Amino acid sequence: MKSIIILILSIFTLSCSSGIKRSIKNDSSNCDEKIILQYSNSNYNEVNENNSKDSVEQKIFVMMEGGFSDTLSVYFNDNLISHSFFITDDILGTTGAGVEYNYTDENCPPFLRIISSTNNYCLELQLDSRYRILYLHKNKKGWTGIYSNSYHSYE
């Protein structure tokens, strides 16, 4: 019985990692930038009134925080979801600007790719399915991402 469970988990793991492209050939961007990931101290199983972990739908909302003044192409699993202009303050603060992606019908958590149209930067990241929100901040040193299941209030 134990070996059957291990076999099933191995097959699932291989199928998730094999179906996602991890790089993009793009002459105008360099995705070697660093990202620092942080996790909110709330439990990842926490239920939020707007984003219940018990929900049948698997969604993630990527919120653009401080440091953006650019047209960004946002891809999930190599599908262009948004090509929009984002402008935020240089300081960290919730703007409400972002992109939501529903991956309920997919076997794996989405792979995020963000490409700047004019400022020559990009980000590639396998998203953590335990969390419903990823707050992104961009500065000269790189990226900071904060996973959460709660909407932050900076009031």
Summarised one tens digit per residue, pLDDT across range 102-113 is: 998 888 889 999
C-beta atoms surrounding 114 within 10 Å: 25
pLDDT confidence band for 24 (50 / 70 / 90): very low
The tokens for 50 are 């707007």
- Who wins on pLDDT, 34 or 18? 34
Q: Cα–Cα distances in Å, from 76 out to 47, 67, 84, 123?
A: 24, 21, 15, 12
Give first-to-last CA distance, the chain, whole Å. Answer: 53
Enter the pTM of the model: 0.70
How many Cα atoms occupy the beta-carbon half-sphere of 92 within 13 Å?
Answer: 12
pLDDT of res. 100:
92
Nearest 5°: the CA angle 103, 34, 85 is 60
Burial class (CB in 10 A: 0-12, 13-18, 19+), 75: buried
> Which tops the pLDDT comparison, 6 or 151?
151
- 81-101: pLDDT as tens digits: 999 888 776 665 556 688 999
Q: Are 60 and 134 in contact (CB under 8 A)?
A: yes
Mean pLDDT score across all residues of the chain: 73
Which one, of 123, 155, 4, lies nearest residue 134 by Cα? 123
Q: Can you name the residues that pair with 87 across neighbouring β-strands?
A: 69
State the pLDDT at residue 14.
40
Distances (CA, A) of 47 to 31, 85, 134, 152: 34, 32, 16, 14
